[in-house]
Amino acid sequence: MISCFDIGGTAIKGAFARSADDIRTFERRPTPLQDFNAFVETLKSVIAESGETPRCVALSIAGVVDPDTKRAIVANIPSVHGRTLAGDLQAALGLPVIVANDADCFATAEALAGAGKGHRIVFGTILGTGVGGGLVVDGQPINSDGGFGGEWGHGPVAATRAGNPPVELPRFACGCGLHGCIDATCSARGIEKIHAHLHGQTLKAEDILARWQVGDEAAARTVHVMVDVLASPLALVVNVTGATIVPVGGGLSNVPALIARIDEAVRPRILRRFDRPLVVPALCRVEPGLIGAALLGLRSLGEATP
């Protein structure tokens, strides 16, 4: 048995896993944001509920482990930010610890138990409040030792002219400090920025998408421009990685028509031709972070996984 966690800025989700098909979740706990000792005690309280000692602990976390220093970069959780998190937790818990980025855990879940099952190269994409991704090859995330691989949402590559007829777009500021990132232009907040720029109207992303699906012309124009901006960078990612499936998670994936439209725009822009959908909704809709962490933990112990 292993203990696995999905660590967010608001809550910690915990579970025990005996196999890929036997993952038992527990009640969420608030994330201690300022006190590392309290953070450790929260993990211990979940582990204690199992009544037995796990063979290892696996964490999915909304941050990145620097592959050189092994320090965690988790800006929204100061209690763990800057720590050599795996080593510190291993010392505190007395158990082997694996720490992985949440997008990598999502991609692993999809590769081994979701839409990517049976595919050798899977690029899991997150489209929600941000844009992220994770690359899994032969069942193993490329960031197995930490790293920034798969972070296609960041970099000044968003088009400043898009749509048909084309419209000029500003290079929106991104939280990473750059301008013109896909994260800033094609996330949920990005859709809202595009809509405001095109129509001078402030709407939530979910409202824009709802209006688009019932034929609203302004919303349709916004979605068309957003998809046009998104499709080329994603097509380049597919060309570079050789991915044969791109499962999409995050809040925007809850609109299947949007994912279908993205797929239609991406496939003509890649070198390899597919006669089937390439960009598809994720299948691990419930707790993909926990599923991915569990699968990584089980694999580390040589346990059978899908």
Tell me the C-alpha distance between 71 and 167, whole Å: 42
* pLDDT score at 304: 57
Phi–psi pair at 126, nearest 5 degrees:
-105, 125
Structure token digits, residue 177:
């400090």
Question: Mean pLDDT over all residues of the chain?
Answer: 95
* Through-space distance between the first and last CA atoms of the chain, rounded to whole angstroms: 17
Grouping H, G, I as helix, E, B as strand and the rest as coil, residue 127 is: strand
The predicted-structure confidence for 50-72, as pLDDT tens digits, reads as follows 888 999 999 999 889 999 999 99
* pLDDT score at 215: 97
Question: Residue 8 pLDDT more than 80?
Answer: yes
Tell me the C-alpha distance between 182 and 171, whole Å: 10
Q: Domains, the chain, ranges and CATH?
A: 2-101+286-300 (3.30.420.40), 115-281 (3.30.420.40)
**Which residues are within 8 A (CB) of 244 and not within 5 positions of it... i.e. 6 or more apart?**
119, 120, 121, 122, 274, 278
* pLDDT score at 306: 66
Residue percentage of the chain with pLDDT more than 70:
99
Environment class of residue 81 by beta-carbon count within 10 Å: exposed (0-12), middle (13-18) or buried (19+)? middle
* pLDDT classification of 305: cutoffs 50, 70, 90: low
* pLDDT score at 64: 92
Q: Which amino acid is at 131?
A: V
C-beta of residue 282 within 8 angstroms of C-beta of residue 253: yes
Q: Which amino acid is at 81?
A: H
- DSSP class of 276: S
Question: Residue 223 pLDDT more than 70?
Answer: yes
* pLDDT classification of 301: cutoffs 50, 70, 90: confident
Tell me the C-alpha distance between 74 and 99, whole Å: 12
C-beta of residue 247 within 8 angstroms of C-beta of residue 116: yes
* pLDDT classification of 19: cutoffs 50, 70, 90: confident
Environment class of residue 33 by beta-carbon count within 10 Å: exposed (0-12), middle (13-18) or buried (19+)? middle
